[in-house]
Amino acid sequence: MTEERSTLKEKKRIVIKIGSSSLTHPETGDLNLLKIERLARIICDLKGKGRDVVLVSSGAIAAGRQALGGQKRPDTISEKQAYAAVGQARLMMVYQKLFAEYNCVAAQILLTKDTMTNDSSRYNAQNTFEELLSLGAVPVVNENDTISTHEIQFGDNDRLSAIVAALIGADLLILLSDIDGLYTDDPRKASGAKFISLVREITPELLSMGKDTGTDFGTGGMAAKLAAAQIATDSGSDMIIANGEDVQIIHELIAGEEKGTLFLAHVNRNFDLMDYINTKY
């Protein structure tokens, strides 16, 4: 175990982001209830160890598509918003039921870009997070797709999770995706792609490596994850990109195992969350 990984055992406030591709069955796009149940169990166990945990969860559109019998990914904004309106309620129903099985309470927080750019709304959102965490609840966060005027105003839930981590002062952000971590190239297309286990500094060269290679059920590619890493690490949070195929990896990462790509925090004294929110990567 490296010195950098050993510090992960001490993290107290953790944001976990899980994408649609990690929450759904690849064959159908339907919610993978077994995986969601395991995720809820792991989060409740972390809370039992005294950690604050916030879950940023995609899956509302996928859940709505399942409920409404959709056979393909929606193409128009109105389709996505309609699926999200049905799916967000269904997704939260699943989370609340499964968290309750392990004596935890799930609370829904839906954000828009306007929430974060307005000083009063951002302050209120921050207070809501703090109060929920002090009460022992697990905030489950998603973008409010039903009223967003763009597909995803934040760019994707990778970037949203980094913004949430900065807002609440998290010391660790875990992005669960359908890849093992950061590579020098897309490993699904380039056989010579090399895995990068540790990133000490996010350079312009590193950012230029990002390519949008999302799956059928997800929207975020590596460019979005690198943008999230820049937000998280500049705000003082370590970040890990890891494969969410088996959510047990959350425990393994926090135990310091050499899995995923670890981005080390380097507090930027000039960090301004609003600058990051208003900047498109």
Encode pLDDT of 42-63 as tens digits. Answer: 999 999 999 999 999 999 988 9
pLDDT of residue 143: 87
216 has a pLDDT exceeding 50: no
Share of the chain above pLDDT 70, in %: 91
Report the distance separating Cα 169 and Cα 235, nearest Å.
8
pLDDT tens, residue by residue, 6-15: 999 999 999 9
- The domain segmentation of the chain, as residue ranges, is 3-277
For 204, other C-beta atoms within 10 Å of its C-beta total 6
In terms of Cβ atoms closer than 10 Å to its own Cβ (0-12, 13-18, 19+), residue 55 is buried
30 neighbors 39 (Cβ within 8 angstroms) = no
Q: Supply the pLDDT for residue 218.
A: 40
Cα(79)–Cα(76) distance, rounded to whole angstroms? Answer: 5
Q: What is the mean pLDDT of residues 180-198?
A: 87
Q: For residue 141, which of 112, 180, 177 has the smallest C-alpha distance?
A: 112
**pLDDT at site 212:** 44
pLDDT at 154: 61
- In this predicted structure, what is the pLDDT of residue 152? 46
According to the model, what pLDDT value does residue 147 have?
A: 66
**Higher per-residue pLDDT: 73 or 160:** 160
Mean pLDDT of 83-110: 95
**pLDDT higher than 50, residue 41:** yes
Region 98-120: mean pLDDT is: 92
| CATH 3.40.1160.10 holds for 3-277 | yes
pLDDT at 217 over 50: no
Binned at pLDDT 50, 70 and 90, residue 281 comes out as: very low
Give the type of residue at 107: A
Round the average pLDDT of the chain to a whole number and report it. 88
Q: What pLDDT is recorded for position 275?
A: 76
Which residues lie below 8 Å from residue 181, measured CB to CB, with a gap of 6+? 195, 196, 197, 240, 241, 242, 243, 259, 260, 261
Query: What's the pLDDT at 214?
Result: 43
